Amino acid sequence: MPFAETPLRDEYAAAVERVAGRTLDALRGGGGAAALADPDTAVPRPLLAAVRVLGADLFAPHLLTGTEPDGPTAALLAEARRVFPTPAAATPEAALAIAWQDWAAGQVLARTPYADTASAPTPAAPPGPAELGWQLWSVRMSQLSALALPGLDGPVHDAARTDTLGLARGTVRSMLRRDFTTAVRLARWLAWAGAEDRPPRLEVAPILERIHLVGIGAVRTRLELVVAERLLEGTPK
């Protein structure tokens, strides 16, 4: 029954916000572990679910400061992936987005003792702007913003390098529509492209400042905003 599922859904959503908040605190503190769970106690399922959702972004404090992923966070993510296998997707497009998000998390875990024993193959390359047009493509790229981190590279990143103009158009369109979550995610890609010495085609700093001034409620979106700011500042080579 939908009514019975609502409290559990709310509990899991709140857990995502808590984990994003701890990751954000670690990022603002200069990097390091986010201390997501007590290693001496059983990990609640909502926490594992939240870790599964955040994926590669759990390691943003490390990747953005050039440090190695910490063992406790890696262990927690590996356990979350075991308890919560890849979820079913309503559409092939959603399945492809989930596959790439899982790929990003697996790429980071591969640097730790908790690498998956059976590495999943690299997913198929998503359709690019030539197939989708820049509007739909930029929306798809916003769904893959967790891949916009140092040390990750693949076909999704190649597309971001190649068509920064489409990302810039998508960012402006999202700002005009007051869709600040999508705007932050696309600005994050532009900041990543700038860190790769690619022309961002748009002044990203004023966009981020404007979103700061407007205010965004979700902690997870604030995490994306700070990641974009750190990418804009430059990352260790």
Give the containing element (helix H, strand E) for 8. Answer: helix 2-28
Alpha-carbon torsion angle 95, 96, 99, 104, nearest 10 = -140
- What's the burial of 25, exposed, middle or buried (CB within 10 Å: 0-12/13-18/19+)? middle
Instruction: Quickly count: other Cβ atoms within 10 Å of residue 182's Cβ.
Output: 21
Q: Residue 58 has what pLDDT?
A: 96
128-177 pLDDT tens trace: 999 999 999 999 999 999 999 999 999 999 999 999 999 999 999 999 99
- What's the burial of 179, exposed, middle or buried (CB within 10 Å: 0-12/13-18/19+)? middle
Average pLDDT over residues 188-196: 96
Q: How much of the chain exceeds pLDDT 70, in percent?
A: 90
Q: Residue 236 has what pLDDT?
A: 47
Average pLDDT over residues 7-27: 92
Reference 192, options 144, 133, 137; nearest CA is: 144
The DSSP letter of residue 147 is G
Q: What's the pLDDT band for 3 if we cut at 50, 70, 90?
A: very low
Task: Write down the mean pLDDT value for the chain.
Answer: 90
Average pLDDT over residues 188-199: 94
Query: Do 52 and 45 contact (CB within 8 A), yes or no?
Result: no
Q: Residue 29 has what pLDDT?
A: 85
Q: Residue 5 has what pLDDT?
A: 63
66-106 pLDDT tens trace: 999 999 999 999 999 999 998 888 999 999 999 999 999 99
**Tokens coding 227:** 């990641």
**Tokens coding 48:** 């594992």
